[in-house]
Structure 1
């Protein structure tokens, strides 16, 4: 029941992340950065909230953490079904998902199976949730009826129904599994030290890289800055906890948003590979094997740009990412709550668009037209990804020399 509760809670978090629309992959051939985003976007709010929630609940009772977790589930649910709309709804959804992630990490404690379930479910739903929505909305797919009153409501019926089922299951399983559990306190100072500046600084770098007049040099500089940021943050965590952050950052760099999903079969294969990779990583954890797999995927992505090969790297990626991630667990609850959003916050836009305006039919309004202004070529993207994964591998090797930390203190 503890593992099931984490799976459902992670799914709710990940599905909410999919609704916030994370950036596209750095290596995906179809990646497009549709519009310039502000530094403080929904993913940043989610990451900050997860950090603050895990720290605030570090010494709370299980019942207190449960109240926060179930309340956060309901907030995400209300946002999804259109009961909380507009900008307030956007903020509520991001804060609710972040609070659920932080509370779930605390409830998972250092139980390796619970942490792996939460992480894989959140990542899987975050990466594949949008693809699931698209498949459910095709013309020949199932049709659901969902009447919502109000011009501001933009509810996707399929997403709403899925979220209702998942949220109710998460709330019930969380209560059943953790109502009588004794929680252990964990490190709080370092969680704040890393968790608060990390997503904001990553957002600033992404903002620079996404400027409509930025060239390859600016983009590569932003990526180098992101790598430095990830390494420094990883070493600021106690013991070996920073490995989780490094693995997720490397995954984001080589294209973890680029799972190949075009039909239901590919969606099922991607999800299955994610689960299988996590299962093998749980049973036979080998950190260096996982990092080696990421290097192989990055190298394959480089070769695929010049040799006619099947897109093996896109299908191997879910398996390798899940294996590498689970191999680095367990970690402190606070470290987990900070590291998981990094897969979505520590990415850079690939294709940069600038909005130009052309006169419309009405004399009082203009039509905005997005035009592509810059895009690093495949060689730049692939080599950069390969270098970053190599740097992360070296950093993880250094972290492995540290003694493991069983419990933290503030």
Structure 2
């Protein structure tokens, strides 16, 4: 039941995160991705609240932590079904998802299976939630969510139904599994010294990189800065806890050349989910962090070759398995470090310009059309990811000596 509760809590957090766009400022609705105000977005707030909640709640009783977790689940659900609209709702879902992540990390303790369930669920739902929405767009006819909030509200019925079901079962499982649990010793407050500046600094680097092509000096400089930031944070965490952060950052870097997991249709989505589960299972049974990092190295090398010789992309089909394996192999860790590290895959990924739209007048009318002018340099992205995987592997080797 403890593992199931963490799995469902992670799905709730991840599915909420998949609906949060890094360019949506929580301070100004008119802010664009390159705007300074876009630094304060939903993902940043999730990361900040998760870290603060994990450290604060570690000093509370298990019953109090469970109450916070269930309350956070309800906040996320209310926003999903349109009960809390507008910017207030955007803040509510970000704070709720962060509080749920922080409290779930505390409730997982150092139970490796619970941590693995929480981590892989957040990872999978966060990256594949948008694709799942597309699969759910199937039914015609009346849907109960429309009857509840009205069609004028910007609510996707399928997402709301899925979230209500997952969150309801999650709340029940959290109560049953943790009502009599005894928590682990307190989290050190110095985790806050890492977890609070980290997403803000990552947001600044993302802001610098926004609008620049990957081959530009600004983008590469921001990526180098993000790598340094990840290394500093990993070594500032106690003991070997920073390995989880480094593993997730390495997975994000290795995904640069392929633009993430394969989830273009139902079959690819099912395959990605299946590979995530298989990778997590293998990592739990035979955890070998350096084997996993070696797998990311192979993926990055394959992407370099694919970008050079116009080979069909295969890395995106392997990434779910390898990333889940690396993540689970890096566990177990302290709850505060886990809550700090899990949002890193979303907050520490630099934006990549897919194309620069230049508006030119149409010959047949006065309507402007967008013309595709540039594409990302896949070779630059792949080589940058390869270098980061090598650097992270060396950093993990140094952490091992602690």
TM-score, normalised to structure 1, is 0.88
Q: In the alignment, which residue of structure 2 is the partner of 1:30?
A: none
Aligned structure 1 segments of 4 or more residues deviating by more than 6 angstroms: 352-359, 366-374
RMSD (Å), alpha carbons: 2.5
Aligned-pair CA distance for 1:186: 3.4
Alignment match, 2:321: 319
| Higher-RCO chain (CA-CA 8 Å, sequence separation at least 6) | 1
Q: Aligned pair in 2 of structure 1 residues 142, 117: CA closer, same or farther (>3 Å)?
A: farther
Cα–Cα, structure 1 residues 370 and 398, in superposed 2: closer, same or farther, change >3 Å?
Answer: farther
> For 1:100 and 1:278, how far apart are their aligned partners in 2?
22
- Kindly indicate whether the alpha-carbon contact (under 8 Å) linking 1:249 and 1:342 is maintained by their aligned counterparts in 2: yes
Query: How far apart, in 1, do the equivalents of 2:252 and 2:85 lie?
Result: 30
Matched, 1:11 2:11: yes
Are 2:321 and 1:302 aligned? no
Q: Please show how residues 9-408 of structure 1 align to structure 2 within 5 Å.
A: 9-21=9-21, 35-36=33-34, 38-137=38-137, 145=143, 146-147=145-146, 148-149=148-149, 153-211=153-211, 216-255=216-255, 258-351=260-353, 376-402=376-402
Q: Where in structure 2 are there 5+ consecutive unaligned residues?
A: 24-31
Q: How far off is 1:358 after superposition?
A: 9.2
**TM-superposition CA deviations, 1:236-285 (whole Å, max 9, x none):** 00010000000101111122761111211111110010001000000000
CA contact 2:8–2:166 (8 Å) conserved in 1: yes
In 2: Cα distance, 1:117 partner to 1:368 partner: 49
What is the alpha-carbon distance in structure 2 between the residues aligned to residue 73 and residue 367 of structure 1? 45
In structure 2, the CA distance between the partners of 1:398 and 1:152, relative to structure 1 (3 Å rule), is farther
2-structure distance, mates of 1:281, 1:83: 40
Q: Structure 1 residues 372, 47: closer, same or farther in 2, change over 3 A?
A: farther
Kindly indicate whether the alpha-carbon contact (under 8 Å) linking 2:76 and 2:92 is maintained by their aligned counterparts in 1: yes
| Paired positions, count | 385
Shift of 1:117: 0.3
Cα deviation, residue 369, structure 1: 7.9
Normalised by the length of structure 2, the TM-score is 0.90
